[in-house]
Amino acid sequence: MSLFLIILGAALLYVGGDLLVKNSVRLASRLGLSSLVIGLTVVAFGTSAPELAATLASVLEGSPGLAIGNVIGSNIANIGLILGFTAILYPLYNSRFFLRRELPVAIAVSLLLIPLFWNGVLGRLEGFFLLALLVGYLTYVIKSDPEQITTELEDDTEADNEKPLWRSVLFVLLGVGLLVGGARSLVTGAVDIARSLGVPEAVIGLSMVAFGTSLPELASSVVAALRKETDIILGNIIGSNLFNILAVLGTTVVVSPISQPFSAIGTDIIIMIVFTVAVWPLMLWNRRISRRDGVILSVGYVAYIVYLFI
């Protein structure tokens, strides 16, 4: 049954990713927004839904370490595994706006976790603060979309443009639903197998659960790479990292404050920050993340997983 759940989850992730990416790009075209902004908002929010569900469930069940580990581990997986793997499939070219605006914000928000967790308690006040930052950031991004370009799809036709807007919205929501269901199915099967092999719960949270809840980002990014939609990939990954900290963690601690010693999570927070900061020089060098850079990020993620299990 666990193996069946893994196979079913993988299939749902592929179909959901294809629906989400194709219709998100079409939505960007219809609304006159850039693919980067759609990736930072619609796609990022949708693919972060599994992290929100898993984190809320963990903290309500009295496992704050698992909840925090899921957020931090997912952010590490997003950059080390997903950004690295998709760059191997197709080099990721970035716009100057991404390098000047989105990436610095992602680094700043990651650094924010150090003072927030320093005293070992993350309360409702901090949660409302994180949610307020999210609202402010999204408002700024949408209002100051620097490109305002109309993205053209390979298979876009005049008939597609004449289709009602609600169809694109409906298929985006359907894609998100399939991603969430696929991720849950795959995580359930993988965690059951891991527990039967005696893998500690803390390691499961930082590795398998974090990886599983990041699968929507992986699925949508792979599909976007095959379609050569670089802005969707970058917006999705960086946007998801921002949503994980500001929306997922913010909402979670508003519902139930978290107490966790900084010494227990400090190393993982620092590793997350290192992965996020590493993207800057890689992109600054040639204004892209090449296949070689993708290999470097992927190897770094594998080394982190080996460190966890050791």
Residue 97 contacts residue 227 (beta carbons within 8 Å):
no
Task: For 75, list phi and psi in degrees, rounded to 5.
Answer: -65, -40
pLDDT value for 16: 74
* Per-residue pLDDT at 23 exceeds 50: yes
* Per-residue pLDDT at 110 exceeds 80: yes
pLDDT value for 9: 73
Residue 223 contacts residue 198 (beta carbons within 8 Å):
no
Measured between alpha carbons, how far is 65 from 79 in angstroms, rounded to an integer?
21
Confidence of residue 166 (pLDDT cuts 50, 70, 90): confident
Q: Helix, strand, or coil here: 259?
A: strand
β-pair partners for 92: 289
> How confident is the model over 124-147, as a mean pLDDT?
83
Residue 210 contacts residue 69 (beta carbons within 8 Å):
yes
For residue 121, the surrounding DSSP H or E stretch is strand 121-122
The one-character DSSP state at 122 is E
Q: Domains in the chain, start-ordered, CATH in brackets?
A: 2-146+155-309 (1.20.1420.30)
Give the tens place of pLDDT for each residue, 31-83. Answer: 766 666 776 776 677 667 667 766 776 677 676 766 787 788 889 988 998 89
Please tell me whether the overall predicted TM-score, pTM, comes out greater than 0.95 for this model. no
Mean pLDDT for the chain overall: 77
Measured between alpha carbons, how far is 277 from 274 in angstroms, rounded to an integer?
5
* Per-residue pLDDT at 150 exceeds 50: no
